[in-house]
Amino acid sequence: MADYYLLFGPPGVGKGTQADRLEKTLDLAHVATGDLFREHLKKNTPLGRLARSYIDHGALVPDDVTIGMVAERMTDPDTQKGMLLDGFPRTVAQADALSKMLADRGQKIQRVLFITAPKDVLIERLGHRMTCSNCGTIYNAQTQLPKNARVCDVCGGEVIQRSDDTPDTQRKRIEVYLEQTIPLVDYFEQRGLLVTIQGEQSIDRVYDDLLHAIEAAKKTG
């Protein structure tokens, strides 16, 4: 059976850093919905054009469009051992759809890894966040700089700090995320899948806790 783990948590909690490490350790495809959206929009695929029709009008992209992108990604060869899903599901409807997609393949979610941290910690971290203006790769001015100053390691694009990342904006984003996440936390907790990881710890300690949760999931089947 393939392994499927969900990784989620608020902005600034360090999901991207941990996902990169887990992807190598577990030899699983790291699938981030943000990356899927950027790829579909860049390639102007049918799903990308459909998503853009909502984005251009300031509307939320419907669940079925996001689900379609994930379903298509699940057919790629590198996902056959399983996936580390990052940023999906975002709603209970998406969670139901994912469970059905996996059940149709005789698969299931092994663990949901919820990394969280106090708001003040998240705001502090977001104040040091840097983003590639081309591919969206996230860096941190304190803990994860690009190898060459202001040059993205992935695509060579310019790495910038967004001018709209003010403390008030960041606080609002965190509050909105946590509000939207509560139904999912309850959803997975009721199914015995949720493990909460304290994200204010060091990067290595968070990583160790994630691996411990994954090893525990493998033992229980």
Summarised one tens digit per residue, pLDDT across range 144-201 is 889 998 899 988 899 988 766 667 778 888 888 888 788 999 999 999 999 999 999 9
Q: Which residues of 101-130 are buried (b: 16+ CB within 10 A; e: fewer)?
A: ebeeeebebbbbbbbbbeeeebbbbbbbbb
Q: Lowest mean pLDDT of 6-10, 33-37, 110-114, name the range.
A: 33-37
Contact criterion met (CB below 8 Å) for 83 and 27: no
Contact criterion met (CB below 8 Å) for 48 and 40: yes
Q: Within the chain, what is the greatest distance between any pair of CA atoms?
A: 48
Integer Rg of the chain from CA: 17
Options 24, 162, 191, 205, the catalytic residue: 162
Contact criterion met (CB below 8 Å) for 54 and 62: yes
User: Does residue 73 have an active-site annotation?
Assistant: no
pTM above 0.85, yes or no: no
Options 15, 73, 111, 125, the catalytic residue: 15
Options 21, 38, 52, 90, the catalytic residue: 90
User: Does residue 15 have an active-site annotation?
Assistant: yes
Options 73, 111, 125, 129, the catalytic residue: 129
User: Does residue 162 have an active-site annotation?
Assistant: yes
pLDDT on residue 49:
92
